[in-house]
Structure 1
Amino acid sequence: MTTLAILELFIIQLILPTVFIISLWKGNFPSKLNWLTLVVFTVLFTTWQFFSSSWDWFSYYLRFIMMFFLLLSTYSSWKKVHSLPFRIKFNRSQKMSLSFNVLLLLVFGAYNILTFSGFTTKDDAVELDFPLKNGTYYVGQGGNHVLINYHNAYASQQYAIDVVKLNKFGIRAAGIYPEELDNFFIYGEQLYSPCTGIVLKVRNDLPDLTPPDADSENAEGNFLNLLCEDEDVNVYIAHMQKGTVVAKEGERIQKGQPIGLVGNSGNTSEPHLHIHAEKNGVGVPIHFNGRFLVRNSLVW
């Protein structure tokens, strides 16, 4: 991830919502209608960020702090406008401001609808065991829409999830985007087989790369392809650490059996677990303990 991309994330995720919340708190409104359009837009924008942004970069808990200040600013601003008329005869500037706010709330209303549509699926899911233990794990990519899961654009990986580990402050790494792999809390975590089945294919000899380096020619990196017996699906666990994949091709392994360590091999921006399931080359949803995991889901 480039410095520019990190800066864009910081502006969109933190700076803009803060500016809109402060504008709501401190603003002077000629009527309740002006206030209402800004409230609705700010709520929709902040809600979209709350659900669709990846919050492991700056802290998972910041999203709740932001929503608290949104509620506080809404209440505070209402006390200033409750005695105003609902609408007035607007001048040209006020009409333009009102129209712009209406346009923005329609846009971000649509974004929210699309985001929420990704929280469920009508496709039949397979039940697997979560392949990580002993930590707080965060879903950075997951769900049934590209706004919360970029894998959704690719048929074979449409329900894939990417997982990192959070510390007690809700952050995935020591630093914003460190080069040292050990500074990512998930790096080197033990992985366990999500089902009982036959190992179809293994790769184990690719190097762990220094972020943001990636190997697009070997997208999976070091990986394990497992045919799960109970569910009759192919499960891929990718980006594993070099030399740690202990399963062999043709071997039958048991659910919960150690299979290797989380690494940073292949086409990956940083250490994480990638897992997806396929039937006949088409991605199928996964349930872990009955849950369909989406972006911002936590697993303990």
Structure 2
Amino acid sequence: MIWFQAAIYTILPLFLFYHLLKTDFASRKQLILDWLAVLMFLAFIFIIGPWHIYNHYLRWLWPALFIIVSFFALKRIPKLPMKGPEKDKGYKFSIGIGIGLVLYFGFIAVNGLSGYILAERDQAIELTFPMENGVYAFGHGGADPSINYHNEYLPQQYAYDILQLNSWGMRASGLSPTNLEDYKIYGTPLYSPCSGEVVHAVDEYKDIAPQESPNEQGSPAGNHVILSCKGADVHLSHMKPGTVEVEEGEEVNTGDRLGKVGNTGNTTEPHLHIHAEKDGEGVPITFNDRFLKRNSLVFN
């Protein structure tokens, strides 16, 4: 599946650009509809796509190329007739497909964009980013399930799944490596994002191999630490075995070392899961006053 998705995100845009440039459109309507369909598809993959898997910087190449392609494709509009062969079934089918694609991809993209904004009632807590010395990408984040599946589970709504990028803009050496060490974030030190009390600390689970079925025995969080601070419980999950450095009841300060990122619990690859919970409900987290979304980057 991940290889199929890679083709969609990296090869299909090139085919669509070629389509806009080389197709003999029968009318202005057909060209504009196809142009809008490509625009909505690119918006869909730009907002919804998990670019840390493929190449995060490639994400910005497609909008740049689309602007260039649009310049040449739309130059043909004055040369095309206003109306096409309305009685031609192939033409009508093409128009129908164009409308369907615009609506489908546009709807999903708008839903994703809606997750970029917090409702006024949602008061975020400000934390210090818990990792140093790297570029970090958000695999899940935001206020809509289309960009953050955690929003479907009330205690973890607004949770973040964070990965680290290597020099190629990818979270690992390859699309789906089976070696934990190939994931850039594996073993990265974790630091306390706030000052408070350790209310729970677990270090008893083994790492699971990447891409295997999650091990949900015991705690889905795997090895983890829960801190009571700023009026909420802050959860940091999936830590590496034998690295948790704090104990229940211990007081910690912002920046104190907690452990390292691993792959324990309900996870398919190394990453940091962090969320804040208050009275059984997840509350938003900001870092440097930023509410982060899927594909957001933090440079530390």
Normalised by the length of structure 1, the TM-score is 0.95
| 1:54 aligned onto 2:53 | no
1:46-82 residue CA offsets vs partner (Å, 9 max, x unmatched): 0110111000111001111122222222112122333
Deviation at 1:12, TM superposition (A): 2.9
CA deviations 1:212-253 (Å, max 9, x no partner) are: 23212221010001100xx21000000000011101000010
Shift of 1:282: 0.5
The one-letter code sitting in structure 1 at the alignment partner of 2:216 is S
Residues 99-122 of structure 1, C-alpha deviations (whole Å, 9 max, x = no match): 110111011111111011100111
The residue number in structure 2 matching 1:119 is: 116
CA distance in 2, matches of 1:18, 1:166: 25
Q: Which residue of 2 aligns with 1:225?
A: 226
- For the pair 1:175 / 2:171, whether they are aligned, the reply is no
Moved more, 53-62 or 6-15: 6-15
The amino acid that maps onto 2:128 is: D
Would you say how many aligned residue pairs link Structure 1 and Structure 2?
294
Question: Is the counterpart of residue 211 in structure 1 residue 210 in structure 2?
Answer: yes
Alignment of 1:57-206 (within 5 A): 57-90=53-86, 91-122=88-119, 123-206=122-205
Q: Do residues 43 (structure 1) and 39 (structure 2) align?
A: yes
Distance 2:143 2:10 in 1: 25
The AA in structure 1 aligned to 2:226 is N
For structure 2, the residue ranges without an aligned partner over 5 or more in a row are none
Structure 2: distance between partners of 1:157 and 1:7: 29
Find the aligned partners of 1:97 and 1:175 in 2 and give their Cα distance.
38
Cα-to-partner distance string for 1:158-203 (whole Å, 9 max, x where unaligned): 1100111112221111111111111111111110001001101111
For residues 219 and 12 of structure 1, what CA distance do their matches in structure 2 show? 31
Write the distance in 2 (CA, Å) between the matches of 1:82 and 1:126. 54
Q: Which runs of 5+ in 1 are unaligned?
A: none
Identity %: 39
Letter of the aligned partner of 1:225 in structure 2?
Answer: I
- In 2, the alpha carbon distance for the partners of 1:126 and 1:6 equals 34
After superposition, give the CA deviation of every residue in 1:238-289 in whole Å (9 maximum; x if it has no partner).
Answer: 0000011101000010011111001111111111111000001110000111
Asked if structure 2 preserves the Cα contact closer than 8 Å seen for 1:29 and 1:81, the reply is: no
Q: Which amino acid aligns with 2:101?
A: L
CA contact (8 A) 2:3 2:175 kept: no
- TM-superposition CA deviations, 1:32-55 (whole Å, max 9, x none): 111000001100110110111000
Question: Match of 1:276?
Answer: 275
Q: Distance in 1 between matches of 2:48 and 2:257?
A: 33
Q: Quick check: 1:197–1:252 contact (8 Å CA) kept in 2? A: yes
Whole-angstrom CA distance in 2 between matches of 1:10 and 1:168: 19
User: Helix, strand or coil for the counterpart of 1:208?
Assistant: coil
CA distance in 2, matches of 1:74, 1:126: 42
